[in-house]
Chain A
Amino acid sequence: MTAFLEIDAITKKFGGFTALDNITISVGRGERVGLIGPNGSGKSTVVNCLSGVFSPELGAIRFRDQDLRGLRAFERTRLGIARSFQLPKPFRSLTVAENVRVPLLYAGRGRSKAIDEQCHDLLTRVALHDKADWLPAALTQVELRKLELIRAVATEPELLLADEAMAGLSGSEVTEIVAFLLQLSDDGVTIIMIEHIMSAVMSFSNRLVVLVSGKKVADGDPQVVVKDPIVESAYLGQ
């Protein structure tokens, strides 16, 4: 039995530019991984390779022992890999409730309850149920982030890739989102959190991976990793 998720020596290039250079990360079920690194270090590219937006030139990605090569993005979602987008991408012509309805219709597995009820339950979890009939244009920044997350959660993922779910939020809002992610983790979802806000990363993660210029420079216990001189000089000390 291999790990839950194995990113095995992947390399991703854009033209002559190497965005990810021989990256290997293996994640166990239930882990809470913080993925950090300076701007442009390749964090979102990792998410895009995992979710099927990009395919790496070299290396392999295995999820629950299945090679993901050749699987399209929607198929990976249905396998249980969900992602949120760094810049929220709501369905702008659909209401908040309908935004959640789409993944429930296409990737949801819980057929026990009526779909309207599932929508309501999900929106309640992020306190958006009062705005179920609103269009995304009327939502605040933090509400858009929550919609982005809950839409990913609606696919009933086993692995959630949260790409800067807290960028631009205030302190209390950050705390709220971290609490939500911790609850998800308690419910058994494995989470990779990409974040620049160090307090959020440190309070959430039980493991920290650091990327710098497309290379993995550290991987391990968060308290140890942040004190690593390479990490400090390359990233935190900048």
Chain B
Amino acid sequence: MRMPIFSLLALVVAAALFAAFLAIGNEYLFFAGYVVVQYVVIATAWNILGGYCGYVNFGTGAFFAVGAYATVALHKLQNYSENNFPPAVAEVIAVIFPLPIPVLILIGGLLSGIIGLLMGYLTLRLRGVFFAIATLALAVVLQTLVVNWDYVGGSRGATILRPPTTSLFGMDYIHYLFALMLLLAAISIIIARGIERSTFGYGLASIRDDELAAEAAGVPTLRLKLACTAISGALMGMAGAPFPYYVGYVEPASTFSLIYAVNAIAMPMVGGTAGWLGPLLGSLTLGSLQQIASVTISSEASLLLIGVILVAFVVLAPRGMLGWFDRLRPKRKGMVATGGGH
């Protein structure tokens, strides 16, 4: 399928889903759906670095939190400026603020993209486990910074009051947030799929398979890896930017939660890391299961659930859910991988 058609289709599906949710009209569905769709973005973003390029990022929580805390910081700026900035500046800020959420998403994306770039510079010479540990360390460092940053509430956290409706057609706020996240999910998937079929995507695949051979084939490995961490990090930050408005109360422990890192890894692994479809499948199934489990049993149970499912997949179906269908495909790669004879 051509890229423009695919993109259009992704946007249409997102719009249809939103319409369906509106038609059902259950408010809880929007709350739960937001989290699931947020994971579609996170899993897709993780897979751009983890699945396409072969670098396992354990720091998803940090990128997500950078987006969330960028929003908190900007949200607080309005009040803060009234008391601390010269009146002229405060007036300007009062006119511009509060910033619309799409703008906050872009800012969050930009910041976490820059963090991704920095992390790349510091860690991309490491491979395998060492890279994963370095990303985890980065998350710890960032969390410590936020815990000690009073302006955004430090370890106490910050409360964000959101208006009940938006200025956009008087739309219900949670509907608005859900719609934005859906749009972001569609955009992430379009980006992921675009990368797969591009020169950049082939470069990433060559890096994942063998970095020395990639360089020998003329692939500027460092440059591509940096671009990859920046894109992946930016999308994670974008997923985090609306989060304060969704929960209303942000504190470091839950925002930097390891649950994001675990899900970001588990969802693509369960779905399949080879392409955009795997993270989508994985996040929809695991994300929904977790929502159901946390309501019917408890949120601890939902954590346990991912753990068990992840282990089961790693052992029994290392190529994820998409691996099940390889066998059904008539020819080519699936057969080739098992010997290739006609």
Residues of A that sit less than 8 Å from B by CB: 51-53, 72-75, 77-78, 82-83, 85, 89-95, 98, 101-103, 105-107, 131, 133-135, 137-138, 151-152, 154-155
- Cross-chain contact A94 with B337 (CB below 8 angstroms): no
Which B residue sits closest to A77, measured CB to CB? B218
Give the residues in chain A near B210, CB-CB below 8 Å: 89-92
- List chain B positions with a Cβ less than 8 A from chain A: 199, 202-203, 205-206, 208-210, 212-222, 274, 332-333, 336-337, 339-340
Q: How far is the CA of A152 from the CA of B217 in the complex (A)?
A: 7
Counting chain B CB atoms within 10 Å of each CB, the highest count among A78, A106, A131, A134 belongs to A106
Q: Are A134 and B218 in contact (CB under 8 A)?
A: no
Say whether chain B's binding surface is mostly helix, strand, loop, or mixed.
Answer: helix
In the bound complex, do residue B336 and residue A133 qualify as a contact, i.e. CB atoms below 8 Å apart? yes
Q: Which B residue sits closest to A84, measured CB to CB?
A: B216
**In the complex, which residue of chain B has the Cβ closest to the Cβ of A100?**
B217
Bound-state CA distance A113–B145 (Å) is 54
Across the interface, do A102 and B206 meet the contact criterion of CB distance under 8 Å?
yes
- Which B residues touch A133, using CB under 8 A? 332-333, 336
Given the complex of chains A and B, what is the CA–CA distance between A100 and B202 in angstroms?
11
What is the CA–CA distance of A202 and B209 in the complex, to the nearest angstrom? 35
Bound CA–CA A89/B215 (angstroms) = 12
Given the known interface contacts A98-B202, A106-B199, the answer about A138 and B336 at a Cβ–Cβ threshold of 8 Å is yes
Query: Are A51 and B336 in touch, CB under 8 angstroms?
Result: no
CB distance from A158 to the nearest CB of B (A): 14
For B216, what are the chain A residues with a Cβ–Cβ distance below 8 Å?
51, 73-74, 77, 82-83, 85, 152
A74 touches B340 (CB 8 A): no
Contacts of B206 in A (CB 8 A): 91, 94, 102
Please name 12 pairs of A and B residues whose Cβ atoms are closer than 8 Å in the assembled complex, sorted by A.
A52-B215, A82-B216, A89-B212, A91-B213, A93-B205, A106-B203, A107-B218, A133-B336, A135-B333, A135-B336, A137-B336, A138-B339
- Contact between B220 and A103 (Cβ–Cβ < 8 Å)? no
Instruction: Kindly provide the distance from the CB of A92 to the nearest chain B CB, expressed in whole angstroms.
Output: 5
Is B205 a contact of A94 with CB atoms below 8 Å? yes
Residues of A within 8 A of B274 (CB): 93
Q: Which chain B residues lie closer than 8 Å to A134 at the CB level?
A: 336, 340
